[in-house]
Homo-oligomer: A and B are copies of this chain.
């Protein structure tokens, strides 16, 4: 359009590039609640939002990272030590205003980590801490526009849980149907009818029984594992159609 600097649109080295980051929203379930992992912003003077909580993430490293998902996996590994949980892109946000250092774009992913028995487990990185999610939010103020990003990730998770097998990735490999139902209930924050739940899960061929039961102070429960651990299962209908 403007002919003052015609080369600018051809030579990529002349083109101004936004700061590019990847942020990862890492979910797990602890103590009957959905939690998200947050890190502390560094306390050095040249960093914005110093000392605040933020989503784990940072600049794309063009040497280390082959692609965006690889970058997300690297950041996930850094903060949790976990190799390959469920990882999905939420979307990207970019603009002049979101980072005081200039035009920036972030690519947001969310990950699901199996719930561990001990809450302090799975956080080798000392600056990272699990925060419970209470009605679509977290109680601390977040750096940048991370509150918005987190809300979008929660929204995506809740929506998708209605018609997919996602909550299975919040459990260890072997689980009972009650465990699985419980994960759905925690994420959706409502109770599900047991009989309907089991019918759906079996109809979708989501799980297969293994040759073990879990004992307890009551009737032992059959243990299951995912039929196809690699592939997410879509239910033909949502769990509980909302009457309008």
Contact = CB atoms under 8 A, between A and B. Distances in A.
Interface of A: 9-12, 15-20, 44, 46-47, 58-60, 62, 65-68, 70, 89, 91-97, 101-103, 105, 107, 203-205, 236-238, 241-244
Contact of A62 (B93, B103, B236): B103
A95 B73 CA distance: 14
A92 B91 contact: yes
Nearest to A90: B91
Contacts of A91: 89, 91-92
Given A12-B101, A205-B244, A92 B89 contact: yes
Contacts of A9: 58-59
Contacts of A97: 66-67
A68 B92 contact: yes
Contacts of A65: 95-96
A95 B60 CA distance: 10
A204 B241 CA distance: 12
A10 B96 contact: no
A15 B64 CA distance: 13
A89 B106 CA distance: 14
A82 to B, nearest CB: 18
Given A15-B59, A66-B96, A67-B93, 8 more contacts: A10-B46, A12-B19, A12-B102, A20-B20, A20-B105, A68-B95, A92-B107, A236-B244
Nearest to A107: B92
A19 B241 CA distance: 43
A67 B18 CA distance: 11
Nearest to A163: B238
A62 B44 CA distance: 28
25 contacts: A10-B47, A11-B46, A15-B59, A17-B17, A17-B18, A17-B19, A60-B94, A60-B103, A62-B102, A65-B95, A65-B96, A66-B96, A67-B94, A67-B96, A67-B97, A68-B93, A68-B95, A92-B92, A92-B107, A105-B107, A205-B244, A236-B241, A236-B242, A236-B244, A237-B238
A101 B207 CA distance: 46
